Every structure is written in structure tokens, then in C-alpha cells.
A = this chain, B = another copy of it.
Amino acid sequence: MKSTFGFVNEENMSMLTDLYELTMCASYFDHKKFEPATFDLFIRRLPPTRSYFLFAGLEQVLLFLERMRFTEEHIKYLKTQGFKDDFLDYLRNFRFSGDVWAIPEGTVVFPNEPLIRVTAPIIEAQLIETFALNTINLQTTIATKASRVVYAAGGRSVIEFGLRREHGTDAGMKVARASYIAGCNGTSNVLAGMVYGIPVFGTMAHSFVMFFSNEMESFRAFARTFPDRSTLLIDTFDNIKGAENAITVAKELEKNRFKLRGVRIDSGDLVSISQTVRKMLDENGFGYVQIFASGDLDEYRIEELLNKGAKIDAFGVGTRLGTSADRPYVDIIYKLCEKANEKGEFQPIMKLSEKKATLPGRKQVFRFKDGKGNFVKDVIALEGEEVGGEPLLVKVMENGKIVYNLPSLDEIRRKALENLAALPEKYRMLRGAAKYPVELSPKLKRLIRELREKLRKIEGAFSG
């Protein structure tokens, strides 16, 4: 193998899959199993430090379903892995032809709720599993984390700053996207700005200050280049001296009718330093100069800083947001919930085991709201069952074609902010949040009972 970046792109993405998807499909093909089946993509449980999820990543899944193809290069490689020619011929002509229902991105969701529901011939439905999980896991993990950080900041700006420690190039892009959806005001990632239209922000690094003969010289140089939007990093040597220098530059800028945008503090006791710097700025008539804080921040640290009276206008949040460091994944899975028999009749399927039980049948999620639009409870029901509430899953794909008006990123973000605002405080607080009620509908409960009974009989027959 020659050296390579190993970037994933639209051409090779269909191969970004676990081998077992292909081995299972090869065996289905071998045994002429083409019956349709339905899979639910959902999150099994809440981690201890989360009380809801913010769903994100659907757009990329739908694009994948519409465009995934196997090329001759892929076929050639798969042949070396022992796949047979007839199955490889099938892959050559592979197109996803299924129907997909999904909850729109930016929706607050809970464990066991189907987020994406795929109905397709078994091989197609199986083959898309890994990419769908990979996409939804990352973006939902990050959107959820970011929504907590934004919540802690209580209306102050939050900029996603974590590109350097996010997990590779694609995470750099998707973290910026998911964070913006969750209410961050922008990102440091220039490519995310270009590709997704997300506002980009950036100040300066310590190296910039140190490259000049002294801090003052570096501040002046930067302010000359960006007179209308400089944020000066004041902690390279000493925050207070740095603030004095920034005030000098702010005065010089005012002489030219410009305004210093802000100062950034990246280390030290952010509470006392921000208070002192705020006072210094205000006393010199620079009430408009913002204080921007960064450095190992997350929702807990921001909450603590603000509780202690830190005077901070905006937060740059990096590694702990960009990796969701306290919980870098969600327990997301993709499970078979019904399959058609030879006559084409769908039969509900469930997995019984104690800790890993799944919900059978084709389902819909209904959300109940109070008079003010606040979320009261969700009910997971069988499709077509009348239980009241607002159905969350909408049809997004029919016969392999997107039949859904993909919302813009700003529309998704608006939905997310509305959803988060409608989630009552008690379910949203950072610590000790109440458990949001998610019920099973009467028909779904009855179906589960029946299937349990049936499986028990089968088990009895086994051991008898």
C-alpha cells in the first residue's frame, strides 16, 4: 500500500462498513432472501450525565442512502476477501430502494424512540447500518453535549473551538455542524464556514504575541490588520498587564474611529481575572469591549464560573465539547423490528433478552404538549394507532428517493432551539434532571405481551 490520506468520499463511502454487513448480505443473497424488513435506529439508554438527546445527522444519512454505489475497485477488493461472483454482480447494481421515516434533525429525543425507520429488502436494509450509525452517533452525541454547554452559558455566546482535538477531519466538520445546530454561535473551523455557511471566529494564539518583541507590539500589529474586529489574547505573560496593553490599543483604535472587539483570557482564575479586567475596561470607557474566555471549558465549568460571578461575554469551548469528553458516544443501535414472510405479510420481531430487549413492529412516536407548547410526554405507538399527540416521524424517503424537503442548517438550528426551549427546565438541568416520561401505547404493550408469551412457549418446547 502506498502512503495515503485515507480520506472518505462519496465514491468510497459505501465501503465504510463493518465486514459483517457484507457477509450477512452475501448469505442472504445465497439463500435468496430478498424479503423486506424494517429496522429501527435508536438510542438504547441515557448516560448518567444526559437527560435527553438532540437528534442530528439525518441529512448525511439520506444523502448516503440515495448515492451509495459499489465501483469496480470495490468489487475487485471484495473478491480478494472471498465474496462470490453472483453476489458481487448484485453489488455492482446495488441501489437502495427502500422507504425511510425519520424524526427531523434538531428534535429533542429520548431512549427507545425510533429516530430513523428503514423498510427495505433485507440486504439493502442491512447494508446501510454501519454508515447510518456512525453518522448519527457523532452528530447526536455532539449536538447533545453542545446544547448543554449553550444552556450553561445562559444566553452568552458559545463558539466551538475544538477542531485541533476532534477526531479527524470529518469530525472537525460534523462537530461544527452539530454544535451550530445546538445553539453555538459559530466555529473556529474555516472549512465548516465555507461548506456549511456557519459563522467563523478566531482571535490569536500565544505564538503570535511571542513572535513580536513584546506584547504591545503584537497587539498593535494585529489591530492594524483587523482594526474593526480584533480580539486580543491578554494572558501570554500576565492578564492584568495584558489588559492594560489592550486598553492602550483600544484607545489608539478609537482615535481612528475603530472599536476593539474583545480581549481573550485563556488561563488563570477566570473568575477574578474577568472581574478585574471588566472593571479596568469599564473604568476606561470600554464597556463595549467583550471578554472572551477559553481553556478547558465545558458545561460544568461554565456554570461554575457564572455562579461565582465571572464577567464573561462569550466562551470558546474546545476539546471537551468537540470530543464530548465525559461521554464520547451514545448507545446507538439499529435493530430489526419486523420482517415480511413469503406472502409479503410483515411480522413483528422483538429481542427478548433482559437488558437488550427491543420494541417490535413498525412504530411512530407521538409527542404531547401542554397549552404553552411545552413537552409533557412521549408515547411510542404502533404505526396507525390513534393515541393523540404530534407524530414525530415523517416520511423522508420513498423507493430510495428523498421525498423530504431537506431543511437548511439554519432551519434545523431554529427547530433545535425551539425544541430545547419547549423542554421544561426540570428535564433540562445539568445535574439531577427528572426523567422525561416516554410511554408505550396500549397496542404496543399488547403486542409485546403476545410476543413474550409466544417466545416463552417456544422456549418451553425447546427445554421440554
Contact = CB atoms under 8 A, between A and B. Distances in A.
A348 to B, nearest CB: 11
A8 B172 CA distance: 9
Interface in A317-352: 319, 323-325, 327-330, 332, 335-336, 339, 349, 351-352
A329 B336 contact: no
B126 A207 contact: yes
Nearest to A125: B207
A6 interface: yes
Contact of A5 (B60, B211, B319): B60
A208 B24 contact: yes
Interface in A15-50: 15-24, 26-28, 30-31, 33, 37, 39
A63 interface: yes
11 contacts: A6-B196, A7-B7, A7-B10, A8-B191, A16-B173, A18-B163, A23-B225, A24-B205, A27-B224, A73-B194, A126-B207
Given A191-B16, A224-B30, A134 B163 contact: yes
Contacts of A7: 7-10, 13, 170, 173
A232 to B, nearest CB: 12
A326 B355 CA distance: 23
Nearest to A25: B208
A409 interface: yes
A394 interface: no
A210 B351 contact: yes
A383 B384 CA distance: 74
A15, A19, A353: most-surrounded residue (chain B CB, <10 A): A19
Contacts of A92: none
A205 B20 contact: yes
B168 A225 contact: no
A24 B204 CA distance: 6
Given A37-B211, A323-B167, A328-B328, A188 B20 contact: yes
A37 to B, nearest CB: 7
A163 B194 contact: no
A454 interface: no
Interface string A147-182: 000000000000001011111111111110100000
B336 A81 contact: no
A276 interface: no
A133 B318 CA distance: 13
A81 B6 CA distance: 30
A344 B424 CA distance: 63
A129 interface: yes
Given A9-B7, A20-B204, A329 B323 contact: yes
Contacts of A205: 20-21, 24, 126, 129
Given A5-B60, A82-B229, A194 B30 contact: no
Given A27-B226, A168-B173, 20 more contacts: A3-B406, A5-B10, A6-B60, A6-B173, A6-B177, A6-B192, A6-B196, A12-B194, A16-B173, A18-B163, A21-B202, A27-B224, A30-B221, A126-B208, A134-B163, A134-B164, A134-B165, A138-B167, A210-B339, A319-B329
